[in-house]
Amino acid sequence: MKFLDESKIYLKAGDGGPGCLSFRREKYVEFGGPDGGDGGKGGDIIFQAVENLNTLIDFRYKQHFKAQSGQNGSGKNKTGSNGKNMIIKVPVGTLILSEDKEFVYKDLSKSNQSFLAARGGLGGRGNAKFKTSTNQAPRNFQKGKVGQELWVWLQLKLIADIGFIGLPNAGKSTLLSVLSNAKPKIANYPFTTINPQLGLLRLEARDVILADLPGLIEGASNGVGLGLKFLAHVERCKVLVHLCDVSLESDSQIINNYQVIRKEIEKYGKKVSAKKELILLSKSDLVDRDTTSRRIELMKKISRSDIRSLSSVSNEGVDDFKNYLKEFFHG
């Protein structure tokens, strides 16, 4: 499945229908008076968050949305039908922003939550509404009001239980494929994952949503690399699992790689740095156990987070990691 986490779209609510200019015409009634009905209201455009979507990919192929206009009023004081509202379904976690991205109209963070983004125009009044004691046969009527139109940005921030973070090529995609039925692209070079990948881990009491998030690099909080898009997804994760490659040549490399990510998260703010973190020393099959144990102790000196090791290739430590998650979510 393709993933798209940002899209700009055009919205045009329906115009109100015009009122009617009409006079009552009946046999033996010489001066029937005005009977022009009002126009119908234009349709609104409403966003609705739904559970069964997790990408904005549909908006790559359609960027213009126009609601139905109200119908014309007619004689015999008949009001025109209202235009049908347009419901645009988006994933839970979608932000609706102004065209300049300076203002957030709505954060659709819950299932079935909705937002009226463009209001349809009111229908115009027919000439029957203009009858007065001094004007018994008005020829006045109103055109319908124009429906609102605007450009908006949609931004998706994934809502996941666990977000895998770490520098590129730390083993995040491989771990996701081992724990779930997800099939992310995997290769031994940086930025194989350029879009978030979702997987489902089935535990005894509940399902846990996993998100393999694109690799960070230094300067991400300032927009370098995949930067800000990545960090936006981190906001919604309940737990951060920070993968560090234990097979790197030197201890200082591992420490530096961990600190690069932590520094970028802390710079980003928005309470992301306060989230629960588990450090996973990945690729433990490439080093001996003494090296792994020594480096776990080394990491304990610079972080208060829980620290474990595993290998997604040999499955060593995978069951231990699952048990940790089981205790966390059910304990």
- Ranked by mean pLDDT, the top range of 106-120, 146-160, 203-217, 266-280 is 106-120
Measured between alpha carbons, how far is 85 from 216 in angstroms, rounded to an integer? 42
Q: Which residues constitute the domain of residue 40?
A: 6-156
Residue 1 lies in a domain: no
Query: Mind listing the pLDDT tens digit for each residue in 230-250?
Result: 667 777 788 899 999 999 989
Phi and psi dihedrals of 257, rounded to 5? -60, -40
Percent of the chain with pLDDT over 90: 53
More confident residue, 101 or 232: 101
Last residue of a domain, one of 93, 124, 156: 156
Look up residue 182 and give its two tokens. Answer: 């997800």
Across 6-23, average pLDDT: 95
Does 189 lie in the same domain as 313? Answer: yes
Residue 280 and residue 310 in contact, taking contact as beta carbons nearer than 8 Å:
yes
Distance of alpha carbon 23 from the chain centroid = 53
The residue from 111, 131, 156 where one domain ends is 156
Q: Identify the burial level of 284 via C-beta atoms within 10 angstroms of its C-beta, where 0-12 means exposed, 13-18 middle and 19 or more buried.
A: buried
Reported as a pLDDT band with limits 50, 70 and 90, residue 218 is: low
Q: Among residues 326, 330, 281, which one has the least CA distance to residue 179?
A: 326
Domain identity same for 19 and 84:
yes
Of the candidates 70, 172, 49, the residue with the CA atom closest to the CA atom of residue 126: 70
Q: Determine, yes or no, domain membership for 48.
A: yes
Structure tokens at 146: 């124009």
Q: Which of 197, 155, 176 is nearest to 6 (CA)?
A: 155
Distance CA 249, CA 53 (A): 42
- Judgement on whether residues 146 and 167 belong to the same structural domain of the protein: no
Residue 271 has pLDDT above 50, yes or no: yes
pLDDT tens digit sequence for 276-325: 999 999 999 999 999 999 999 999 999 989 999 999 999 999 999 988 88
Q: pTM of the prediction?
A: 0.67
Give a yes or no: residue 324 inside a domain.
yes
Q: Note whether residue 24 is domain-resident.
A: yes
- Residue that has been written with the tokens 């994934």 in this structure: 158
At 34, list the tokens: 């005005």
Q: Which of 156, 179, 211 is the last residue of a domain?
A: 156
In a domain, 87, yes or no: yes
Is 190 a residue whose pLDDT tops 60? no
CA-based R_g, the chain, Å = 29
Task: Output the domain CATH number for residue 76.
Answer: 2.70.210.12
Q: What is the CATH number of the domain that holds 243?
A: 3.40.50.300
